[in-house]
Amino acid sequence: MTTSTADRRGDDRLHVVVTGGAGFIGSNVSAAFLREGHRVTVFDSLARPGSERNLEWLQSMAPPGSLCFTRGDVRDTQAVRSVVGEADAHIVYHFAAQTAVTRSVVEPREDLDVNLCGTHNVLEAVRGSQARTPPMLFFTSTNKVYGALPHRRAAESDTRYRFCDPEIDARGIDESEPLDFHSPYGCSKGAADQYVHDYSRIYGLRTVVFRMSCIYGPRQFGNEDQGWVAHFMRAVAEDRPLMIYGNGKQVRDLLYIDDLVRAFRLAALRIERTAGNVYNIGGGPSQAISIWHELRPRLERLAGHSLAARFSTWRPGDQPIYVSDTCKAQRDFGWSPRVQIDDGLERLWAWARILADGARSNGHTPDLVLTQSDGLLTRAIQTGPTA
């Protein structure tokens, strides 16, 4: 089903297609372009909890004629081709995915079909685009493509793990790290990651891969399997119990959603340099935190009371420590994180509190816009293919 008020006449606005555009990352990216007056097509199955609310939010803030929504599944080849292969699309952001390691273990074929076959559908649609210049394609991969990092020894302290190699501990994991898929999710995302990378080399498409660490922020309806920072925040705000898998000393680098949106946009502005590349994207060592023992005091400060959690066994492929080295992104398109952890957590807590208050008031939840456009992409990006 397609609903649209978008004007298809030619103009100088960008036309951006976002698969998974009603998800956490997709809705924030879509909103940034809508705020600048560009046209956005959201392609989403609305299967994930919270996606309907994100779509309603986008529809409420979109200028007239700027937003088109198509309900569809990336496994549907024809549906993807009809949306992604449009003649006037400038950029495609491919975010539609199965995102949970635990679900991939239970339903590995579904994980394969969505993450790998769905991505291949998008690639083929971009390659077969009717546009004079095929749109650039951005794909969200994951740090899970590096596996459990068994050759990177980690030492355990009272609150966290650290890399034993002082150089790696100081800067994090860079893109030269060997791939070591672990879990069906790691396999499907890793294989898709490599397909996107190779389609640039073989077919000359302008593709960019972001291997992302832990992204957090408003519009993230997280759960135990995925989006753990938002899940913890909402659970605390709604007085729900918390479960920690492993010992809670696992370390991840956090990146606030506004910084990720800015990275996508800066990489698009420098597409002549970024096309065909893979980038580790995360908060880096300065934004690294253990998932419970160092996050808990911050949550307690926000909530105003002490917190407790139950502990369960480690999950497959869980890395004791992963921290992104983002120097390549800094070098190629001038990006580095700006939002500090405490500031980002305060913003997310404000959104979580609004959701919790709404749930206590007969389900009516007023919305809160916490992300702002950086005003970076105000011209059409129609650079030709790389050689």
Q: The tokens 């007023």 sit on which residue?
A: 366
Task: Report the Cα 100 to chain-centroid distance in Å.
Answer: 13
Q: Is 185 a catalytic residue?
A: yes
Cβ-Cβ contacts under 8 Å for 106 (sequence gap 6 or more): none
d(CA 158, CA 297): 14
Is the Cβ–Cβ distance between 149 and 173 less than 8 Å?
Answer: yes
Q: Which residues pair with 253 in a beta bridge?
A: 288
CB neighbour burial string for 66-79, b if at least 16 within 10 angstroms, e if fewer: bbbbbebbbeeeeb
d(CA 170, CA 152): 13
Cβ-Cβ contacts under 8 Å for 277 (sequence gap 6 or more): 208, 209, 328, 332
In degrees, to the nearest 5, what angle opens at C-alpha 378 toward C-alphas 373 and 379? 155
In degrees, to the nearest 5, what angle opens at C-alpha 166 toward C-alphas 165 and 169? 90
Tokens of 69: 């929504």
d(CA 25, CA 7): 25
Is the Cβ–Cβ distance between 96 and 47 less than 8 Å?
Answer: no
CB neighbour burial string for 211-227, b if at least 16 within 10 angstroms, e if fewer: bbbbbbbbbbbbbbbbb
Q: The tokens 């000393």 sit on which residue?
A: 249
Amino acid present at 262: R
d(CA 160, CA 290): 5
Catalytic residue among 93, 146, 161, 185: 185
Q: What are the DSSP calls for 325-359, one per residue?
A: --HHHHHHH-----S-HHHHHHHHHHHHHHHHHHH
Cβ-Cβ contacts under 8 Å for 370 (sequence gap 6 or more): 217, 218, 347, 350, 351
Active site positions, annotated = 185
